[in-house]
Amino acid sequence: MKMLTSSLYTNKYCGKTQLSLQLLFTSQLPTTLNGLNGSSLYLYTEFPFPYRRFSQLVKSFHSTHPILFESARDPTDHVFTREVHDAHQLFDILSHLSFCLENKETKLDVKMIVIDSIAALFRSEFENNARDLKKRCDLFFRISACLKGIAKRFGVAVVVTNQVVDLMDDGGTSGVRVGNIEWLWTSGRRVCPALGLSWANCVNTRLFLSMCDVVEGVGEGLGDDGLVRRGKRRELHVVFAPHLPYSCCEYVIRKEGVFGVER
């Protein structure tokens, strides 16, 4: 299986954190069930840690994937978490992780790294001037090089979530074309990924989570106008991948987790 350094960008309420938490458990599944048969590392930058949702997913996987709980095994023992407050701390953590994975005495069998989210680390640390922007880009490349090195040397899958910002420029700037489609829409807004092209060029695969309002049904007494019931449609788009064409799929978020929808 090919390991990729992937970036998943989305706006609030699309479920990026829920999908990230779900990956922590699916990575523990055996390869015969499309897992990685290993532990996972969750580095979170937005606080507090979502303990309630994490506990719900543990119960869900207990019923849907009992193989994770065989022989009194607790899958939470194979999920390592660490809070990250700034980009320099993230780089130090990744450097130490590389040492731990290489050292056989630590027995750290991490097969997936999830960083949720990268944009939060760069919101206030750097100013909008040439000097700080150069420092920020240099740090982008150092972090991405470290992640790619870990992925290649130790067979680790890397998922990094990002956020989106409203796109105000209609002139076809480079901020729009960061994938196989011309622009991105979510919640009725035209958006582009945060951190610009510098970060976009650091990742192998770019996925986009979008959400829009839809009419689910009509009937007396439903909805604000008494006739229409409205809902949310969430979609995952393959915006850019060297081995995949553009595609998208619909998904829903339930108490048990994130699930795809067959059209």
Helix (H, G, I), strand (E, B) or coil at 134: helix
Residue 176: per-residue pLDDT: 42
Q: What percent of the chain has pLDDT over 90?
A: 52
47-56, 82-91, 187-196: least confident range: 187-196
Q: Which fold has domain 5-206?
A: Rossmann fold (3.40.50)
Alpha carbons within 13 angstroms on the beta-carbon side of residue 151 total 21
- Model's pTM, two decimal places? 0.87
Helix (H, G, I), strand (E, B) or coil at 120: helix
Average pLDDT of the chain, as a whole number: 85
H or E element at residue 156: none
Query: b/e per residue, 179-201, with b = 16+ CB within 10 A?
Result: bebeebebeeeebbbbbbebbbe
Give the DSSP letter of residue 37. S
Q: pLDDT tens-digit profile of 119-155?
A: 999 877 777 788 888 888 999 999 999 999 999 999 9
- Helix then strand then coil, % of the chain, to nearest 5: 35, 30, 35
Residue 24: per-residue pLDDT: 96
Amino acid residing at 254? R
Distance CA 8, CA 140 (A): 16
Q: Yes or no: say if 249 and 261 are a contact pair by the CB < 8 Å rule.
A: yes
11-20, 49-58, 211-220, 227-236: least confident range: 211-220
Q: pLDDT tens-digit profile of 168-196?
A: 765 554 444 555 455 688 887 888 888 88
13-27, 150-164, 186-200: least confident range: 186-200
53-62, 210-219, 248-257: least confident range: 210-219
Q: What is the mean pLDDT of residues 85-95?
A: 95
pLDDT surpassing 80 at residue 49: yes
